[in-house]
Structure 1
Amino acid sequence: MTVNGRFDRPGADTSIVPAQVNRDNSAPTEVTIVLPCYNEQAHVLTEIERITTAMDRSGLRYELLAIDDASTDHTLDVLREAANRFPQLRILAFHRNGGSGTARRIGTEQARGAIVVWTDADMTYPNERIPEFVRLLLRDPHIDQVVGARTSEQGSHKLLRVPAKWLIRKIAEWLAGTRIPDLNSGLRAFRRDVSLPYLRLLPAGFSCVTTITMAFLHNQHDVHYLPITYARRSGSSKFHFVRDAYRYILQVLRMVMYFNPLKVLMPPSLFLLAIGSGKVVYDLVAHPVRIATNTVLLLCAGLIVGAVALLADLIVRSRIDWLPGKRT
């Protein structure tokens, strides 16, 4: 099926978009591949051919959902021409740029497949291996997400990017309490019904992949990692080192605060209380019957942070509008 149109806003109801039915819908779709596209005119057709060739050979029933994120080049024209060749290609066109996170969120919401695959259209990921990811989910009902763990780094700002990503990943591992081989890989497959409660947490930018990983891990969903190669990007990179690294760190902290605030707030609270208690002993020894003002401030700060931590944890535990995804 091919759907062509332009939304007035990202996330608009697709029922208003004219559709042309080109294939038999009697068999349910097993897999939806969400492909965000922003200024990818030079290579998006090659990527579509690579994905559809691999999926056709796999025998899986699938749809390829290409989302044009208000590209300023001819990406949308290329997609519309490709729709005539590939009956499994469905197109969503945004009227304004919403970011890769918005595209992936809306693509997952609009997906017809029970399994959703996220990948990129920049030729970096081995998309010919998508059937392998899907079959792992079909074979093992206990696995909820399969992530491609990159064995090399080919992005821009490599000297700064590699240590920064390593540090962020280590922070995420400590906060999540588990090993994470690749925190922000763009190639992953997961069960759509499990992911639905977490879609509202996805930010608009690149850190959406970090968010979906942390959400699954914090809710005890099994995440499996497959080693993959990572090629040099085709076209210009949309990654901005300082801005996106800052967003990654904030998003990791935000996710842990959302699911387990004690993990973030209790350590600094106990640290402040320990320092304040030691300072009390020092003050009483050095200056009997007098406790310094900074000692009182340390103790008060520790108590306030600890109280906020307990209050935040109480809110998380009593939240009734949040249920982990369940399989049907």
Structure 2
Amino acid sequence: MNISIVIPLLNEEESLNELYRWIADVMQSNGFLYELIFIDDGSTDNSWKLIEGLSEKNPTVKGIRFQKNYGKSQALHAGFAMAKGDVIITMDADLQDNPEEIPELYKMITEEGFDLVSGWKKKRYDSLLSKNMPSKLFNYAARKTSGVKLHDFNCGLKAYKKEVVKSIEVTGEMHRYIPVLAKNAGFSNISEKTVLHQARKYGTTKFGAERFIRGFLDLITIWFLSRFGKRPMHLFGAWGAFMLFIGFCFALFLGIDKLFLNPAGRLIAERPEFFIALTAMILGTQLFLAGFLGELILRSKKDSRNYIIKEQRNFKD
């Protein structure tokens, strides 16, 4: 199979039929063998009924229905797990991503040899204050922090080699940082392509301004995980040793001062240096324990899903 198209969605009943016809026309005109995987992330409208109808008419249409709304990252995780294509394309279901971009994205993976190609919505039709400016700031911070030189991390239209999506784990709110996850997994041949961005035709956006706050928090998380996720003791142990060293220095100073320099002075427990030494040693011990616990958790971690699939359509064991 050439291509798996993975589309997470939430309450997009107005768009689904039009999106399906558009994708099918592009796939047929280019002679691609493909599967189209819709992941219904807990929709409360008729989205799942439409997916059921499409899957009955066309076996290349497959559906995954979540028990409730778990989020885009979990939807992508489920879609990646089920995808069988050599190239995986992700896109949003709101008709703002253009399926006409798929053939060129496919060629960049198969002919030019990229591991991952991310779309860049250079010209956007979003509100300047609610999305454009926050998005620019977010992307700038992501580039500086991660070292991945992309203009638009949050673009839903991306293409991947199969090996990439099978090697990464997209959890929490990490869908924005899949290129960073891919880089950390050893897939460094990452590029981008300018893609058309279209104004939303139906409904309203499912994301508010709070997503950028969560995005920055996730950015800090992924920076930490990329630097110390496999060796937490390197961070906590280093800071723990530093704090213990400070505590030891203050304790040594207090001991020398009391024994040799000022034996008739105040009791050690009445001096501020005593409390500094005590606090530093306690913090150092706690940091060391955090490092040890991190190493134990890392070595005992088992893969687990944090979503429940309620129904599936057209998937075979």
Fold similarity call, TM over 0.5 = yes
Superposition deviation, residue 293 in structure 1: 10
Matched with 2:206 is 238
Q: 1:173 to 1:313 in 2, by over 3 A?
A: farther
Give SS of 1:45's match.
helix
CA distance in 2, matches of 1:91, 1:105: 14
Matched, 1:229 2:199: no
Residue 155 of structure 1 aligns with which residue?
126
Shift in Å, 1:57: 1.3
Report if aligned partners of 2:4, 2:89 keep a CA contact under 8 Å in 1: yes
Q: 1:249 aligns with which of 216, 219, 241?
A: 216
Cα offset, 1:220, TM superposition: 4.2
Closer/same/farther in 2, CA of residues 73 and 198 from structure 1, 3 Å limit: same
- For the 8 Å contact 1:214–1:252, the answer to whether it is kept is no
**Number of the residue aligned with 1:173:** 143
Unaligned runs of 5+ in 1: 1-28, 274-290, 323-328
Pair 44,294 (structure 1): closer, same or farther in 2 beyond 3 Å: farther
1:105-120 aligned within 5 A: 105-120=77-92
Instruction: Name structure 2 gaps, 5 residues minimum.
Output: 243-271, 304-317
> Following the alignment from structure 2 to structure 1, what is the Cα–Cα distance between the partners of residues 6 and 224?
28
Residue 192 of structure 1 is matched in structure 2 by 162
Q: Is the 8 A contact 1:261 1:313 kept in 2?
A: no
Matches within 5 A, 1:54-203: 54-141=26-113, 143-156=114-127, 158-199=128-169, 201-203=170-172
CA shift in 2, pair 1:254/1:46, >3 Å: same
Deviations 1:180-209 (A, max 9, x none): 21111101011222222322x422xxx433
Question: Bigger CA drift: 83-92 or 112-121?
Answer: 83-92
Compute the displacement of 1:167 (Å): 2.2
Contact preservation (8 Å) 1:34, 1:65: yes
Aligned residue pair count: 275
- CA shift, 1:47, in A, is 0.5
* Aligned pairs (5 A) from 1:269-280: none
Shift of residue 49, structure 1, vs aligned partner? 0.7
Residue 62 of structure 1: CA displacement? 0.7
Task: Give the match's secondary structure for 1:152.
Answer: coil
| RMSD of equivalent CA atoms | 3.8
Amino acid at match of 2:166: L
Q: CA separation in 2, counterparts of 1:320 and 1:69?
A: 26
What is the DSSP-based 3-state SS (H/G/I as helix, E as strand, rest coil) of the residue aligned with 1:42?
Answer: helix
**2-structure distance, mates of 1:171, 1:181:** 11
1:304 CA drift (Å)? 9.6
In structure 1, the partner of 2:23 is 51
Q: Would the aligned equivalents of 2:8 and 2:93 in 1 still touch at CA under 8 Å?
A: yes
Partners of 1:44 and 1:318 in 2: CA distance: 43
SS at structure 2 position matched to 1:233: coil
Deviation at 1:86, TM superposition (A): 3.2
Structure 1 distance, partners of 2:300, 2:181, is: 16
Deviation at 1:94, TM superposition (A): 2.4
Deviations 1:135-191 (A, max 9, x none): 2111133x11111111123335x3143332222222221222242211111010112
For 2:155, give the aligned amino acid: S
Structure 1 residues 139 and 42 mapped into 2: Cα distance closer, same or farther (>3 Å)? same
Identical-residue share of aligned pairs (%): 21
- How far apart are the structure 2 equivalents of 1:251 and 1:123? 27
The residue type paired with residue 154 of structure 1 is Y
Distance 2:81 2:50 in 1: 24
SS in 2 for 1:225: strand
In structure 2, the CA distance between the partners of 1:39 and 1:321, relative to structure 1 (3 Å rule), is closer
| Greater C-alpha Rg | 2
Q: 1:68 to 1:219 in 2, by over 3 A?
A: closer
